[in-house]
Chain A
Amino acid sequence: MSSAELSKRHKHKPPEGSGSEKARSKEVDRLFTSWVSPAEHVNGSTPTVASRSLHFTGLLDQFPPSLVESLRYLVGRFQLGDNVELRSRLAVVSALHGEGVTTISRTLAAVIANDLDVRVCWVDLSWSSQRSPQALELQGDDGIYEVLTGRTELDEALQRTDDPRLVILRAGRIPDPQRPELARSPLLAILLDDLEKQFDCVVFDMPPILAGSAGLGLVRHTGSYLLVVRHGVTTTQQVRAAVDELRAVPSVGVVLNRYKSRVPKWLAHFFAP
């Protein structure tokens, strides 16, 4: 599916009353899993910025504007240095499944690449998570597992996007028994070091911290973490537990995801601190 088609699909408004929130969510999920053409690989070289002149890739147009705008707010804080420092390795993590880590991490990677004009690599480390069917389908592409097992080269595993400053590295076809072992492999650390050298920023899509041991095993490879919390679902105790587990890693902050307040605006302002 081309970028233009995706853009057209995004602009298309669903008929009145035809889409529930779940249907919209599925639509957005499909959009995220098809924003990269698997066939367009980087041919033998790391992606470089061809020109430093201002150009529009249109990649961000494929994302919901509300999501992009929210994460632009975050990146803006990165730029201002408002108690938030963007490190070269940024893990996007959550306490539980289904909090929107993949969505946030992908969009954040695209926004960082576009707004900060830096080379960004989005790395899928959440291979132990419960994935959507679309994500599982794309997980079948060559990725980390194939690179670590010598079946392919890193440059071949890196997948290009519509934005030349942004590439992605998928998990690959990892057999289930080898997933815990892979998470603790020294080769993985070497691979991630290589990525850090090649890119200005590496964004990790991490498995949930409280849902298994993989998250804690992988978080040591990251320089900082961004915690995604789903509004109205995750409890404060779960958030506190996740932060306690991650105390050894610097925190960038928290993204409150899928925020939806039913309180009328006038009433919300009344209760505002």
Chain B
Amino acid sequence: MAYDEFIVTARADRSKTTGKRFWYGVADSFFRRWPLYLLPLVLLIGVGVMQARHVTAQYRSVGVLNVATNPLLATTPLGNTSAYGFETPATATTRMINEQLRTDVFVRSVAEGAGLKAALDQHVVTLNDVRSRVGAGSAGDRLLTISASWPDARTATQLVNSTIKAYTDHVLEVETSQSSAAVTYWTDLAEGYTQDVADAQKKVEDYVVAHPEPKIGDRSTDETLALSYLTAAVTQAQAQLSTTVGKIADAKLNTQQATSQTTEGLQVVDPAEVPSAPQALHRTQALAVAVYLLLGLLLVVLMLFVSALLDRAVRSADDIDLATGLAVVATVPSIAALSRRVERQVSPNEPGLTNA
């Protein structure tokens, strides 16, 4: 009769067995207390199942954009080369839309554009609800999709369109910000210059009224000089005003050009349509269960590692060898454990075991 438990192998290289001893400890800990370790896993799977049961049907709406160029990237000195390497216009725009979706301002504008302002104000819907259900993804070098899922089909469609509009507005705002500022600046100046012209003209008129032209002969030299001085002031004010008006026109032209470039660069290929049927629930439900399953597995692994690290009990001959340097000269199996094995292994024809 020979059992593995009786065999004491020669001492192995300690440096090579330390890792295996640890993993053996992990396995031993698991098989000794497997109900304890499986309990959190089962509980978390149960939570996942409960979550999956509460998953509601979602309508998914998708819009497709064609990005000829990325206006924002075009303004950078590196063109389409981002800090992460070369990006296609679709990839860059997708990244930017998803980045914008992380900001509350952008998400709020998307939600309000989709008609969810009242729900937001009443805290029926949160910004995170919107954020988690809207996203962008590239579909090639120039195409990108913006999708939204919502229990209501129309809201899902509105979310997609609102996201497209919000991003377009964002790009326009960035692109036209300088020219818009210039328009504002020059417009403010023009108002002043207009007043200056009016004032200068009024002074001329007042002077002419106060010093009417003589019926006989010419104006005196002093009047002529004063009048020419006032007339020159009017001319100067009008020239300033004229220059300013030109600047305003240039700034407005720039705005128009930027707007045109942006709208040409971001074209809606397929507008979002109202979905006719909700998405299949199986995938969402499976995902919910899988997430909790993964969490449970991570927890079990953590518990096993902690248990193996904290367990100082002697588990093998190597433990004694490492602790004391003494060799294990015999290993006595647990009586109960071996009795079961003997009952399983002994056959009537096996010599030497029938008398056991």
Contacts and interface: CB of A to CB of B under 8 A. Distances in A.
Q: Are A and B interaction partners? A: yes
Interface of A: 13, 19-21, 24-25, 28, 61, 64-67, 69-71, 73-74, 77, 83-84, 100, 104, 226-227, 229-237, 239-240, 243, 251-265, 267-268, 271-273
B50 to A, nearest CB: 32
B3 interface: yes
Given A256-B317, A273-B318, A236 B331 contact: no
The 5 A-B pairs with the shortest beta carbon distances in the complex, nearest first, are A253-B329, A262-B31, A273-B17, A273-B12, A260-B334
Contact of B332 (A20, A83, A239, A255): A255
A273 B21 contact: yes
Contacts of B313: 231-236
B326 interface: yes
Given A231-B314, A271-B23, A271-B27, A258 B329 contact: no
B314 A74 contact: no
Contacts of A254: 317, 320, 324, 326-329
A251 B24 CA distance: 28
Contacts, number: 158
Interface of B: 1, 3-6, 8-9, 12-13, 16-17, 20-21, 23-24, 27-28, 31-32, 312-315, 317-320, 322-324, 326-339, 342-343, 355-356
Nearest to A84: B329
A265 B4 contact: yes
A13 B343 CA distance: 9
B interface, over-half SS: helix
A interface, over-half SS: mixed
A256 B28 contact: no
A65 B1 contact: yes
A99 to B, nearest CB: 10
A253 B338 CA distance: 23
19 contacts: A66-B333, A67-B335, A77-B329, A83-B327, A104-B332, A229-B320, A232-B313, A234-B314, A239-B320, A254-B317, A254-B320, A254-B326, A255-B331, A256-B330, A256-B331, A268-B27, A271-B21, A271-B23, A273-B16
Contact of B27 (A77, A232, A253, A267): A267
A259 B326 contact: no
Contacts of A25: 335-336
Given A252-B329, A260-B336, 5 more contacts: A66-B333, A69-B3, A231-B314, A255-B331, A273-B9
B324 A240 contact: yes
